[in-house]
Structure 1
């Protein structure tokens, strides 16, 4: 954690409170999830005029088309913001929202959402038909298990080598489906080595629907 000269006592107190609450939710993995940013500063930088209006004060959006960010790995959120800035990922609203952020802003905003209590699904009530594909993949079609990268509960991961895989468990079903379709059609192509495009194009529409529903029902630890 770094305290900048511009931080007020209130912001420092807020940081301490957020650390305590998030530690209860995130355990030992909290620091790796937050990264190098300052969550307290990120709260101000992500206010209603920037991020919280759509993604929620606690990182849980009120619109099924808009992704939850609560407990998402900061490294993943930061990459998406940089990709929106450079045009590697396209979105009419997000490209505008990201264009004037500097590296410190991005790190702080990402850390703020990462520090929130992780998003939660519906007690595993998603379509059970997708479970074998999620857990084991389909070798005959060269589809790897989703859990291999994203974790058995969709918790994702972030390691000291900078490798970041996003949290998917508890994410919005409509959003998940839209992204899988975008990967499949090549409308989105900013995953490392194009891995998500390769996976998604081998999935049927029914499998995409089932996976989106299954993932939205998972509960990351």
Structure 2
């Protein structure tokens, strides 16, 4: 006690004993989320398409004393998503406390110039993979009796921005998906929330692009 006031711990809360899966955790927002969760004591598994980048991050986290593991996964592949969840289930004894659907991408194009390939790519990466991973994680989250899903959306999901019609549609869909899953899975002690950042300096876009996106 100092001056009659109670001493406040530097770490007011802890995630020790909790488990988490963060997609796209080797860079940008996902990297920060992994470090935050691990810093509070959670055991974290993350994934990346790039084996070298993943190995480099795992070495860094080990040096910091974080409990982080990882595997290579292309989230566009349904089979690889299923393999990822099998790995997570095995590693965390078929229980998961936290799923962060972070991985996403974009292509800046005017609507009239967007192709069917652009549409399929963005919908599959940003929306379908997150929905499917949530489905796969459902029994693990339910088994933990304290499940949490966090979707990383964007202000683009609620505000019109130039050149981002398809990207914005995926994020608007994520916002609605969050509401539905929150209602459907509340009875299973699974909370579902969305975080919608504004402009964040990440590596989603190439140098020279005129807008910075969130994931």
TM-score scaled to structure 1, two decimals? 0.24
Name the structure where strand makes up a greater proportion of residues.
2
Name the structure where helix makes up a greater proportion of residues.
1
Greater relative CO, 1 or 2 (CA 8 Å, sep 6+): 1
The structure with more radius of gyration? 2
